[in-house]
Amino acid sequence: MKQDKHGKNHKFGMVVDLDKCTGCGSCMVACMSENNVPFKEDESRKKDSITWMRVYKITNGKSFPETEICYMPRPCMHCGGKGDHGHSPCVSVCPAVATDYDHSSGIVSQIYTRCFGCRYCMGACPYHARYFNWWDPKWPEGMENYLSPDVSPRMRGVVEKCSFCFHRYQEARDRAYVEERDDIEEQEYQTACTQACPAGAITFGDLNNPDHEVYQMVEPDAHNCGKPKNPKAFRLLERLQTNPKVYYISEREWVRKAGDNYLEGEWEKVKNNHGNDHE
């Protein structure tokens, strides 16, 4: 089999249907288990806990009986950066190229053995998707045996984040190579959180492939840095031009509005053509 044809780039992304998410946290657990994410003995201080996938709880701010809640799973957004050229907020600032943008998959990598822990990438990421290993990773006795052999555990003093389960992509490609196929099938590469979600709220696939479900769900506009054409879809902090590859869908207007910052009166002008230019 030949390697992927030169120039045929994937753009892996995720779509989260917020109206389906129940906030159960299965995605978080699956992610931690799959990626050997360390945890602390005392997890009460959340701001130095490592949660590659974090589920935020947001509300419409109204009092009972009009209160509504939405759970918003937030992995790394794997931003394409301004112009979608791969200059993600974090990639462009890392002084040692310890995080990089893979143009063949659209995935933002983190090279743990290259990272020297300056944490500039964490400051640059508006989604707080990057985590620092403040502590040595420790697992309860015997649990080391259950660590995934496909993902290297990280050492103290380096930054880590969601990799879109990149090791699964490598595995799928290896399998395709052995079977002499040119490319992988949609279901061959799925992230752990996608598979663990009991409500089927998370969908994963290639945003460049019109046959993939993620493409059909959000209809990314290739001429507009992947902004969704689906008016019910949005990306977090779209206006910052980070161009994330994680999309959210909701029928609820207040949820879509919570995805970005708007000046007074702005939302009314853009709510029906969300995903197109805001100005």
Compute the least distance from the CB of residue 162 to another protein, in Å: 14
240 contacts another protein (rule: CB under 8 A): yes
Question: Could you say which of 98, 192, 197, 207 contacts another protein (CB under 8 A)?
Answer: 98
Q: 100 vs 186, which CB is nearer to another protein?
A: 100
| C-alpha to C-alpha distance for 108 and 101, rounded to whole angstroms | 5
259 contacts another protein (rule: CB under 8 A): yes
Question: Could you say which of 209, 224, 241, 276 contacts another protein (CB under 8 A)?
Answer: 241
The alpha helices in 50-198, defined as continuous H runs, are: 89-93, 120-124, 166-178, 192-196
Helix (H) or strand (E) holding 52: none
CA angle 63–66–70, rounded 5-degree value? 95
Beta strand 246-249 with 12-17 is: parallel
For 213-243, letters b (16+ CB in 10 Å) and e give ebbebbbbeeeebbbbebebbbbbbbebebb
| C-alpha to C-alpha distance for 224 and 83, rounded to whole angstroms | 8
Question: Could you say which of 2, 8, 68, 97 contacts another protein (CB under 8 A)?
Answer: 97
Q: 90 vs 184, which CB is nearer to another protein?
A: 90
95 contacts another protein (rule: CB under 8 A): yes
48 contacts another protein (rule: CB under 8 A): yes
DSSP-assigned letter for residue 144? G
| C-alpha to C-alpha distance for 51 and 118, rounded to whole angstroms | 19
Residue range at the interface with another protein (CB under 8 A); choices 116-124, 145-153, 170-178, 179-187: 116-124
Residue range at the interface with another protein (CB under 8 A); choices 6-14, 26-34, 117-125, 200-208: 117-125
Compute the least distance from the CB of residue 80 to another protein, in Å: 13
Per CB under 8 A, residues contacting another protein are 45, 47-49, 56, 58, 72, 82, 87, 89, 92-98, 114-120, 122-128, 130-136, 155-159, 236-237, 239-242, 258-263, 266, 278-279
